[in-house]
Amino acid sequence: MKEYFANIPKIPYEGPKSNNPLAFRYYNPDEIIGGKKMREQLKFALSYWHTMCGDGTDMFGRGTQDKTFGETDPMAIYKAKAEAAFELMDKLSVDYFCFHDRDIAPEGETLAESNERLDEMCGLIRELQKKYDKKLLWGTANCFNNPRYMHGAGTAPSADVFAFAAAQIKKALELTVAMGGKGYVFWGGREGYETLLNTDMGLELDNMARLLKMAVKYARSIGFDGDFYIEPKPKEPTKHQYDFDSATVISFLRKHGLDKDFKLNVEANHATLAGHTFQHELRVARTEGFFGSIDANQGDMLIGWDTDQFPTNVYETALCMYEVIKAGGFTNGGLNFDAKTRRGSYTPEDIVYSYIAGMDAFALGLRIAMKMIEDGRIDSFVADRYASWKTGIGADIIAGNADLESLEKYVLEKGDVIDSVTSGRQEYLENILNSIMFSL
């Protein structure tokens, strides 16, 4: 088989002192950390759309990156993409991948033709999975690119468009099961609105729930035993996306009885677009029992859209991995690099440098998060801060043994409570974090 990244070796782990740009400094896949191999703690995945398809096209200019892999015929291009994807995963020690239906095969003139092409590509991908021992983290359907989805898919005003999306999702579920995937993602591509003047919000949201229920029913009937995920995002492409943030999505899932089958796929750049930190979105998901999977990337503080940069901010990755460990680690989920090289980083080597940067940033984040927990100062500070809930009046409130009358009586007897208000010690804690991160 052709080698697509001929000048790239299998990337070794060389440790923090290495100057080799084609080596990992922090990601040592088989090293045991916290009782598990790093590759199992991190469960890195390649995003098929950015890495194999995205060519750098933006609003102001055409592509800068050739993703045809030396082929011209459409199916030959997609076969080469698949072979190149698995070669890359092998060289990078990335064990998983994620795809949309339209990433792995060119869309045909009809649904039937698209599905035939998908079947052919699915056969090839399954062979490559066996050859390289790679797993599918999750699959999904691209129900946002084709013009028929201009007003949404599951939330489209047209029932025919809803039906088309349902048919596409049926096939994407079959592909996910065939490739052994343990996850299926719904990212609300254009499930939102541009103006309320033309929008029946109630019907659109109920229809979305109808579609998700149909997906669960069908997937379970064909043997899918993994998790469904909704991936929150507040805006882009629409002015308002219904799956705004973790809290909004959780309340939608609970309202429609979808909470048993669905968890969240939290994306860093989507969190910041919603005006939250990445850690906040993960904390909401974990606290509510919806932590599932992660789309790893980062945005730009000065840019108001989804830039999908490879994550290199170690504060973010450390606090992310802290939440992951506190959530009990990944089960069916993992860390999918929903990230692309900058338009100007256009060579094949840039793809490799970008993955190394992102993987090392998360590996370092994992090491720091473990140290935060072993160090214990931050966790014990938090435990002490809430100590008043363990005994006395706090324990009574939690046990349901208090009411407004008893609490009034308590306070009338006690007098002012200002003496039980302690400092939040934010700067002290931030300095502890720095000392853990940068202990030289």
| Catalytic positions, written as ranges | 100, 103
Which residue, 91 or 174, is less far from ligand XUL as judged by CB? 174
Selected binder of ligand XUL within 83, 101, 267, 288 (CB under 6 A): 267
Binding positions for Co ion, 253-272, rule CB under 5 A: 267
Q: Residue 117 and residue 73: Cα distance in Å, rounded?
A: 13
Which residue, 306 or 360, is less far from ligand XUL as judged by CB? 306
| Number of chain residues interacting with Co ion (CB under 5 A) | 3
DSSP H or E run through 142:
none
Q: Residue 185 binds which one of Co ion, ligand XUL, none, with CB within 5 to 8 A depending on kind?
A: ligand XUL
Q: Which residue is nearest to ligand XUL (CB)?
A: 187
Q: Residue 174 binds which one of Co ion, ligand XUL, none, with CB within 5 to 8 A depending on kind?
A: none
Binding positions for ligand XUL, 187-226, rule CB under 6 A: 187
Q: Residue 437 and residue 374: Cα distance in Å, rounded?
A: 13
Which residue, 106 or 394, is less far from ligand XUL as judged by CB? 106
Query: Per-residue x/- mask for Co ion, residues 145 to 164, rule CB under 5 A?
Result: --------------------
In angstroms, give the least distance from the CB of 357 to ligand XUL. 19
Cα of first residue to Cα of last residue in the chain, in angstroms, is 46
Residue 303 in tokens: 């840019």
Residue 291 in tokens: 């932590």
Distant-in-sequence, close-in-space partners of 418: CB < 8 Å, separation ≥ 6: none
| Number of chain residues interacting with ligand XUL (CB under 6 A) | 10
**Binding of residue 233 to ligand XUL (CB under 6 A):** yes
Nearest-CA neighbor of 333 among 285, 271, 274?
285
CA 175, chain centre distance (Å)? 20
**Binding of residue 95 to Co ion (CB under 5 A):** no
Binding positions for ligand XUL, 276-315, rule CB under 6 A: 295, 306
Nearest-CA neighbor of 437 among 326, 334, 313, 328?
313
3-state SS assignment for residue 136 = strand
The conformation of residue 51, written as its DSSP 8-state character, comes to I
Query: Per-residue x/- mask for Co ion, residues 337 to 366, rule CB under 5 A?
Result: -x----------------------------
Residue 176 neighbours by CB distance under 10 Å: 26
In angstroms, give the least distance from the CB of 376 to ligand XUL. 35
Which residue, 185 or 320, is less far from ligand XUL as judged by CB? 185
In angstroms, give the least distance from the CB of 211 to ligand XUL. 15
Binding positions for Co ion, 295-314, rule CB under 5 A: 295
Rg (CA), the chain: 24
Torsion-angle region of residue 331: left (phi > 0), alpha (psi -120 to 50) or beta? alpha
Q: What percentage of the chain's residues is helix, strand, coil (to nearest 5)?
A: 50, 10, 40
Binding positions for ligand XUL, 99-118, rule CB under 6 A: 100
DSSP H or E run through 305:
none
In angstroms, give the least distance from the CB of 335 to ligand XUL. 13
Selected binder of ligand XUL within 281, 288, 338, 360 (CB under 6 A): 338
In angstroms, give the least distance from the CB of 417 to ligand XUL. 46
Q: Residue 53 and residue 74: Cα distance in Å, rounded?
A: 12
Residue 149 in tokens: 């989805």
Burial of 195 (0-12, 13-18, 19+ CB in 10 A): exposed
Site residues for Co ion per CB under 5 A = 267, 295, 338
Site residues for ligand XUL per CB under 6 A = 100, 140, 185, 187, 231, 233, 267, 295, 306, 338
